[in-house]
Amino acid sequence: MTKKAYFSPLKNQNQNESMSLKNNYVAIMAGGIGSRFWPESRNDHPKQFLDILGTGKSLIQWTYERFANICPKENIFIITNEIYIPTLKEQLPELTDRNILSEPSRKNTAPCTAYIAHKLMALNPDANIIMSPADHLIFDERKFERDIIDALDFVSKNNVLVTLGIKPTRPDTGYGYIQYDTTKKNENFYQVRTFTEKPSQELAETFVRSGDFLWNAGIFVWNVKTIIQEMTKYLPEMNDVFSQVKSYNTADEHHDIENVYPQCTNISIDYGIMEKAKNVHVIPSYFGWCDLGTWNSAYDNSEKDYLGNAVYGKNVMIVDASQCMVKAPDNKLVVLQGLENFIVVDTEDVLLICERNREQQIKDYVAEVKRNKGDKFL
């Protein structure tokens, strides 16, 4: 992935515009373990810290740089598990401790959303928040910026929750889908009708044919008061947990968060809020998006040889193999013969050979490894 230089439209906007730059914040969610990228992604070094596509930067480094064009760096917060903080600081040395939110345990995306919302409410009650995963690819960053800027402006003036939806290019069963009302439009934003998590192949094909469904990119934008209002309605117990904390933005915050986090249920913000709220809007987006969540998505975004193989490794030899995703250490010789449409990932202690059309089962393989071998290979 080649990063191009350009001028940020937000940095050049008129100072008299109603949206204030200092009110815009980003929360990058970077606490997942990326099990579908096993065995490259491990518990102690998950995919957000990996250079999956050989670009010279990890996914979280790309994500951080992308949002640094949209708001001040001091307004970029990263939410991650406490065990990843040393790696995070190594990859993003400019981050201050103030901008790292440490999760004591993995509780999905609703608790970390509640955490940053209450923290920012204490810091700036006018805050507009972008919630973003750490592992997405964005190819047209100027278009992405324009959509995000529009969304920030929209939520600053309206009591709404905004999500970015991607026009589907295929009936992919690995993504969630958003159905929107094409007749209810406010500027470039449409009223959301339904959310559907990872449908069957038949249902995905129906969604794509209908023309009123988008992929759920998992990138959300809202004002801090609006999201807390919705949490009060739909996740009242979780909202109360974080309302109890009185030490936000002080030296005692981490200690108090460690005490209250175990009280949170494990639930996604999609299921907990977005699927229930009545004021959700979507902006159909076209900025070259990819949720780099699987080896197939890495394959799709990789350069390939004349036989359609995506190869990472200096000593990989291909003999009559095609349409394969191959990743191996540079110091290891790998000879591949006779395979078609396979994922081959070789690490120091694990070799994975899996049909590409069965990659969604890698999470099951990881669970089976844990049951039979413990955490040694995870």
Instruction: Provide the residue ranges of all domains of the chain, joining segments of one domain with +.
Output: 21-293, 296-373
Q: What is the pLDDT of residue 6?
A: 34
Cβ proximity of 38 and 354 under 8 Å: no
DSSP of 107-151: --HHHHHHHHHHHHHHH-TT-EEEEEESSEEES-HHHHHHHHHHH
Q: What is the pLDDT confidence band of residue 42, given thresholds at 50, 70 and 90?
A: very high
Give the integer Cα–Cα distance in Å for 61 and 58: 5
Reported as a pLDDT band with limits 50, 70 and 90, residue 211 is: confident
pLDDT at 12: 45
Average pLDDT over residues 342-349: 95
Please, which pLDDT band fits residue 80 given cuts at 50, 70 and 90?
Answer: very high
Q: Residues of 38-47 as b/e, b for ≥16 C-beta within 10 angstroms?
A: bbbbbbeebb
- The answer on pLDDT for 342 being more than 80 is yes
E-strand ranges in 207-341 read 213-223, 280-285, 289-291, 310-312, 316-319, 325-327, 334-337
Q: What is the per-residue pLDDT for 286?
A: 87
Q: What is the mean pLDDT of residues 69-90?
A: 94
Q: What is the pLDDT of residue 292?
A: 83
Encode pLDDT of 148-168 as tens digits: 999 999 999 999 999 999 988
Q: For residue 290, what pLDDT is reported?
A: 83
Convert the pLDDT of each residue in 111-136 to its tens digit.
999 999 999 999 999 999 999 999 98
At residue 14, the pLDDT reads 45
Predicted confidence (pLDDT) per residue in 266-277, tens digit: 999 999 999 999
Say if residue 90's pLDDT is above 80.
yes
Q: What is the DSSP letter of 32?
A: -
pLDDT at 19 over 90: no
Question: What is the model's pTM?
Answer: 0.89
User: How far is the C-alpha of 366 from the C-alpha of 378, rounded, in Å?
Assistant: 7
The residue-averaged pLDDT of 202-218 equals 89
How high is the pLDDT of residue 25? Answer: 97
d(CA 16, CA 50) in angstroms, rounded, equals 41
213-242: average pLDDT: 95
**pLDDT for 17:** 44
Q: What is the pLDDT, as a whole number, of residue 20?
A: 65
Q: What's the average model confidence in pLDDT over 15-41? A: 81
Residue 267, SS3? coil
Q: Residue 10's pLDDT is what?
A: 47
Q: Which of 173, 259, 181, 187 is nearest to 213 (CA)?
A: 181
Q: Are 41 and 58 in contact (CB under 8 A)?
A: no
Distance CA(42)–CA(30), nearest Å, equals 14
The model's pLDDT over 282-339, given as tens digits with 9 standing for 90+, comes to 999 988 888 888 899 899 999 999 999 999 999 999 999 999 999 999 999 999 999 9
Task: Give the CA count within 13 Å in the CB-facing half-sphere of 231.
Answer: 28
CATH annotation of 21-293? 3.90.550.10
Computed over every residue of the chain, the mean pLDDT equals 90
pLDDT the model gives residue 106: 86
170: pLDDT confidence band, cut at 50, 70 and 90?
Answer: confident
For residue 304, what pLDDT is reported? 95
* Residue type at 126 in one-letter notation: D
Q: Which of 50, 300, 341, 12 is nearest to 146 (CA)?
A: 12
- d(Cα 23, Cα 42) in Å, to the nearest integer? 36
